[in-house]
Amino acid sequence: MPRDLTIRVAGENGEGLLSVGVVSSQAFARMGLNVYTFNTPPAEIKGGSSMVQIRVGEGPVRSQGDALDILMAWNQENYDFHIDALRPGGILLYDPGECRPKESGSQRQYPVPLNQIIREQIKNPRPKNVLAFAVLASLAGVPRDFAETFVRQKFGKRADLLPLNLAAIQHGYEFAQAHIPANGTHLPVVPQEEGSQVLLTGNQAISLGAMASGLQFFAGYPITPASDIMEFLSHHLYKVGGVVVQAEDEIASLAAVIGASFAGRKAATATSGPGLSLMVEEMGLATMQELPLVVIDAQRGGPSTGLPTRTEQGDLDLAVYGRHGDAPRIVLAPTDVEDCFYTTMQAFNLAEKYQTPVILLSDNHLSQRSQAIPRPDPARVPVADRELTDGDRERFHRYAVTEGGVSPFAIPGVHNTPYVATGLEHNERAHIDYSPQTHEVMMRKRQNKILAAEHESGFVRRYGPAEADLGLICWGGTEGPVREAMERAEEKGLRVALLVPKMLWPLPERALTQFMGSVKKTVVVEANFSGQLANLIQSRLCRPVLRCNRYDGMPFTAGDVLSYIEGVANHD
């Protein structure tokens, strides 16, 4: 019985191919298995090569997998493009009407005439994706009655489609059981408590985390891969009294968020790199006004329009340094789908506590992938709210210099303590003041409160031995494959440790210094060309680091990182 199974389906965008991944991953999750999906749709709305990959197993599944166990190719182009990813001994499923594979002695090849079955037996092309799911489900050991029940639940509201989809299940299972030996591909059904596990994308988890934090206002402008957040919230935020506004552009979106925060509401927007660039000036305004808000940046390949549907960790410099003047902010990065929920809650808490913008750095792969995770528990992160004035008009100083740097907040129309929130420099009473002394005091006030955030607990995770020959540092969605690579390296007798900072600014310098002092060499693993976190660490700590970078628009695999680890070890 395999520990896990990695399956890829490749075909033409617009054929319902991504639905195969959605339905398959949901079915596997309901079997109690751990699921991790990965897809690469083209930037075009329809047409172009596309693929979806599902890794499923009993144990922890931390990455999309390396070599494929099963490849289903819907046409010749996608066979040619993906066949090299199929491991020796793996299974190729191909449509003989669309594909002519080369003979291979190291792989098992089985024709699956999807188009012929839907044309001659089902007599309708629409359930091709469900037919493909049925073939894969049979091969992976999903009980047929389980698949039928799942399809009834999934498509039960569409009376016109349900019979077609049930017919697709029947024909898919019958064909697979008659023509494809399932040697070594069956996965077990793992008993679990009803409702204990859910399947979410990173964007869905971020949206739910925002709602659990008390989000009341969201404004955004559609941009890949962040659009799903606005779409999800538009369907659900109103249920808890919140408002979603689709603005005319990213600048108007953040302006609306600033206004909502000034009015006392928890507010956020979501964008990607090009949109964050447009928001830089208003981020400075929010910093000067000391307004809490959250900006979610689902990073994609850049620069410019770049790679809209591919992944990259290229916006760290923009998130940390994208400003005119010294406009400090907090930057966080969740590491997996489950962490998206909790780190989003932490982002809102920090924004409220320090009355400052917080940038949450996700990425295309983390935003779009699905993972089966334990049902999120909002009680794990107690919700924080901004400190409010006691209403004493005489004693109220909106920008009072306090020990922690945070001043009481007044909500217009609620507290009888009006003040002017301006982008111009101001004194403690919010009166415009250009004097050198005032500017120095206020600059120090805004900076010191952000530096205090470095000492917040729970934003650095360490794995592996207390002392190691090699120390890995990574951030964001690279944690999964890096952690898996570390575990594989340990199995080979290599002493490797891993540090994952979730707070990237202010940089957790104390934790990084202690970690780097406990290892002989340090490698920073990140999905960008220039090594942005590596540069940040070297500039702040003045300590050299090695770099493991990937910048082709694809996420790291555990095999990528393991090869690098072994290369460093062998070089010694």
Domains detected in the chain: 4-179 (3.40.920.10), 199-380 (3.40.50.970), 387-456 (no CATH), 460-571 (3.40.50.920)
**Beta strands 267-271 and 293-299: pairing type?**
parallel
- φ and ψ at residue 293, rounded to 5 degrees: -165, 160
Q: What is the average pLDDT across 93-98?
A: 96
Q: What is the average pLDDT across 116-141?
A: 93
Contact 99, 79 (CB under 8 A): yes
Percent of the chain with pLDDT over 90: 84
Proportion of the chain in helix, strand, coil states, percent, rounded to 5: 40, 20, 40
What's the mean pLDDT when you consider all of the chain?
A: 94
pLDDT digits (tens, 9 = 90+) for 495-521: 999 999 999 999 999 999 999 999 999
pLDDT digits (tens, 9 = 90+) for 61-84: 999 999 999 999 999 999 999 999
**Beta strands 468-474 and 519-526: pairing type?**
parallel
Kindly state the tokens that stand for 414: 């609620």
Q: Is the pLDDT of residue 109 over 80?
A: yes
Q: Is the pLDDT of residue 572 over 80?
A: no
pLDDT computed for residue 153 by the predictor: 84
Q: What is the average pLDDT across 293-319?
A: 96
Contact 172, 132 (CB under 8 A): yes
pLDDT computed for residue 256 by the predictor: 98
Q: What is the average pLDDT across 21-25?
A: 89
Q: Is the pLDDT of residue 43 over 70?
A: no
* Cα gap 465→404, rounded to integer Å: 36
Q: What is the average pLDDT across 468-487?
A: 97
Q: What is the average pLDDT across 203-218?
A: 98
Residue 49's pLDDT band (boundaries 50, 70, 90)?
A: confident
Q: Is the pLDDT of residue 38 over 70?
A: yes
Lowest mean pLDDT among 11-15, 119-123, 415-419, 424-428: 11-15
Lowest mean pLDDT among 175-189, 225-239, 378-392: 175-189
pLDDT computed for residue 116 by the predictor: 96
Cβ-Cβ contacts under 8 Å for 304 (sequence gap 6 or more):
274
Residue 30's pLDDT band (boundaries 50, 70, 90)?
A: confident
pLDDT computed for residue 312 by the predictor: 98
* Cα gap 544→522, rounded to integer Å: 8
CA atoms within 13 A on the CB side of 357: 30
- φ and ψ at residue 438, rounded to 5 degrees: -65, -45
Lowest mean pLDDT among 100-104, 166-170, 349-353, 421-425: 100-104
Residue 1's pLDDT band (boundaries 50, 70, 90)?
A: very low
pLDDT computed for residue 154 by the predictor: 79
Q: Is the pLDDT of residue 161 over 90?
A: no
pLDDT computed for residue 46 by the predictor: 62
pLDDT computed for residue 255 by the predictor: 98
Percent of the chain with pLDDT over 70: 98
Contact 272, 226 (CB under 8 A): yes
List the helix and strand counts (H, then E) for the chain.
Answer: 19, 20
